[in-house]
Structure formats: structure tokens, C-alpha cells
Amino acid sequence: MTTVNDIVNKFEKFAPKWLAEKGDPVGLQLGDLTQTVHKMMVSLDVRPETVQEAIKNNVDFIFAHHPAMFHPIHSFDLSVPQNQMYAKLIKHNISVYAAHTNLDNANGGMNDWLADKLGLKHTEPLLGPKTEKMYKLAVFVPVKAADKLRQGLITAGAGNIGNYSGCSFSIQGQGRFIPQEGAQPYLGTLGQEETVAEEKVEVTFPAENKNQVLSAMYANHPYERVVYDLYQIEDVGEKCGMGRIGELSDTMSVEEFVAQCKEAFQIPTLRLISPDVTRKIKRVAVLGGSGSQFYTNALAKKADVYVTGDVSYHTAHDMLASGLNVIDPGHHFEWICQPELKRLFSQWAQTENWSVDVITTKINTDPFLFM
């Protein structure tokens, strides 16, 4: 049987929580990680209408981009529509998980999907970078016990570097110690100096694996007191960032690019800020959701046009004064995550042998009507 936790653990290897912006309530929002999942639904939003859709389709698990709960509930008043929605989720045993800015920052995640939709090439993060916190462990162990220890560390999540696994380094030398009263030494005699052929085993690992790697070290080491060095290392972990900037295959006018955006995001209309719609553009920045405050980053990276949602009136004036072309297709253009998430989870269901049916919401949760 497949649980919510099985699915979440796999996803968080793709978009770990450390990628989320400070204060963003990513993760399990409601429900039980141990719950068995037979059918899951991916959705941009968790709204009353999507919850009703999930109930109708016998869904056990909703995986959403936008959190259902941005703020804590202080009073569970069921006359409030949002609280009614939570009550329905609980009543029908539907767990909810949100992957918000961790998915936005992930390599191969939301902003790469947006860039691909726009046909951008040679992309790089618009903001950041965020760098994964990494540790190096150096542990001293008798030579005869080194292989067991090394394998235990690797099984616990150490030794992965890029596309390589099982990475470690060893060097042999002599260890010396004198067991004192009260010691129960694996080797040696109380009060006498002991010299042992030892191996220094070095491995690296991400911060999220720290507890399990250290637990594996203790579990697979024969000494009563383990001697080791542990320190943080820089510029080794995966680098990620919000938004993308890249280039179109061909130069086109702002007006032509507007038409391309409408087609890519399947929208009838959008908002445009432009000093000249005939201006030729090639370098494009994009940031999913609400990213108007980062238009200066787009300018700094020499973008000709910036695509993002929720541009406010006064910020639009500043953008116009700066000479930047800006396209606002609405916050809802992030809906493109839905087919991409379904594709990911369907692939993982096959490779991990999950007995889970993956569906996508059919409801358009954009609150705005264009008339």
C-alpha cells in the first residue's frame, strides 16, 4: 500500500523544503502522512469547488501548489466558507500537501516549466542562488570495520555528489589511545597505550540527512567512543533560485510575444506594460505567481521583457519609466504546474510501484473573469 508519506518523501527529493522561502507554509497542511492513498489529485489551488471535485472522485490526497492554509485558524467557525472546506476535507479523510516556493525554486520545477512554455533557451535563475547546506564527516575507524561503516553511511544518505553515488575518501594511519578506569574498550587494556591500524573515512551529505547519517555512524562503528570531525562546507550543494531568464530562439516584437504568451498559457487576454509594442525583444525573464517586486532583477540581468503576475498600479508606472516591457498574464498562469505534476507523479508511480491513480483537477480556479 502507498501512503502519503511515500509520495511526499519522493517529491521532497525533487523539491526539498529547504528551498522554500522563509515563512512559507509548505508541507502537509491537513491530514495524516500514514494515510493510504489510492487516488490523488494535483491542483494549483485548494478551493471549495476543488474539494467537492475531490470528494466526487473518491480522492484520498490533494497535492497543491498554493497552500490551503496561509494563516493559522484561531476560531473554527463553520459559518466561514474556508473553515467549511477544512471540515469537509477532514470528514472525507482527504489529506492535503502544499509545494509552494520550494517548487518555485526547484531545478526542473515551476519556473523551468514556465520558461519551457515560453520557448526560452540557455536559462538561468533570475533570483538567488539558494545553495543547499552541506556537511563533511571524517570518522576514524579500525581498518577491519571500515567497509561496514562506509556502507552504513552511504545507505543513510551520504556520498551523493551530482550524478554520482557512493562517493567517499579513505586514508589509513595509526590511531593511539590509553583506556582509563571506567572504559570498556573494543580494543586495548586499561592503563596501557594501544596502537591500532585505523582508516579515516570521509563523506559529504546534505543537512537534511545529518541526523540519520550520524545515527548510522554510531550504529556501524565498533568503538565505545567514536572520534569524528563534522563541519559545514561551502559551494558544494545544489544551487537553485526563483524565476528564470533566457533567450527566445528568434527576435520578435513585443506585440508578437504577447500573442505567444496568450497561446502558451491559454488565456484570452493579459495586461501589458510597454513603452513601444513594436520594440524587438529576445531576452526574457519570467517568475511564476506574484513577482512584480523583482522587476529590478530582470533589469539588472538585461531582460527585454518580464513575465509575471499581480503587477500593481504604481509598480507598473515604475516599470514603464524604467523602459522595461512587462507582461502580466495573471497569477493563475501557474496552472501549467498541474499537467507537469501529474506527469511526475505518474512516472514515479511506475518506478516506485505505487498503486495510485493520479488525476488533475478540471476546475479553473482563476477568480477573475475577462469580459
Do residue 200 and residue 268 come from a single domain? no
* Predicted local distance difference test score (pLDDT) of residue 371: 80
* Domain end (from 202, 233, 264): 233
Distance (Å, whole) CA 119 – CA 121 = 7
Identify the pLDDT of residue 71: 85
Q: What is the pLDDT of residue 32?
A: 96
Tell me which residue range forms the domain holding 315: 110-128+242-329
Cα–Cα distances (Å) from 273 to 117, 270, 282, in that order, read 21, 10, 17
74 is in an annotated binding site: no
On whether both 248 and 115 belong to a single domain, the answer is: yes
Same structural domain, 119 and 98: no
On whether 221 is known to bind a ligand per the annotation, the reply is no
> Is the residue at 367 inside a domain?
no
Q: Are residues 31 and 119 in the same domain?
A: no
C-alpha cell at 158: 551520504
State the burial class of residue 238 (Cβ atoms within 10 Å of its Cβ: 0-12, 13-18, 19+). middle
Q: What pLDDT score was predicted for residue 323?
A: 97
Question: What sign for the dihedral angle of Cα 301, 304, 307, 312?
Answer: positive
Q: Are residues 272 and 305 in the same domain?
A: yes
Q: Do 31 and 66 lie in a common domain?
A: yes
- How do 239-240 and 169-177 pair as beta strands? unpaired
In a domain, 366, yes or no: no
Residue 246 sits in the same domain as residue 177 = no
Residue 302 falls inside a structural domain: yes
Give a yes or no: residue 356 inside a domain. yes
Is residue 8 located within the same domain as residue 67? yes
pLDDT in tens, the chain (371 residues): 999 999 999 999 999 999 999 999 999 999 999 999 999 999 999 999 999 999 999 999 999 999 999 888 888 999 999 999 999 999 999 999 999 999 999 999 999 999 999 999 999 999 988 888 999 999 999 999 999 999 999 999 999 988 899 999 999 999 999 999 999 999 999 999 999 999 999 999 999 899 999 999 999 999 999 999 999 998 877 889 999 999 999 999 999 999 999 999 999 999 999 999 999 999 999 999 999 999 999 999 999 999 999 999 999 999 999 999 999 999 999 999 999 999 999 999 999 999 999 999 999 999 998 88
66 is in an annotated binding site: yes
Domain end call among 201, 233, 265: 233
Strands (E), 143-193: 169-177
Q: Is 334 annotated as a binding residue?
A: yes
Residues 122 and 253 in one domain: yes
By CB atoms closer than 10 A (0-12, 13-18, 19+), residue 10 is middle
Of 206, 233, 260, the last residue of a domain is 233
**254 in the same domain as 119:** yes
CATH number at residue 70: 3.40.1390.30
| pTM for the model | 0.86
Predicted pLDDT at 7? 98
**Has residue 44 been placed in a domain?**
yes
Is 112 annotated to bind a ligand? Reply is no
Question: Based on the structure, what is the number of domains in the chain?
Answer: 3
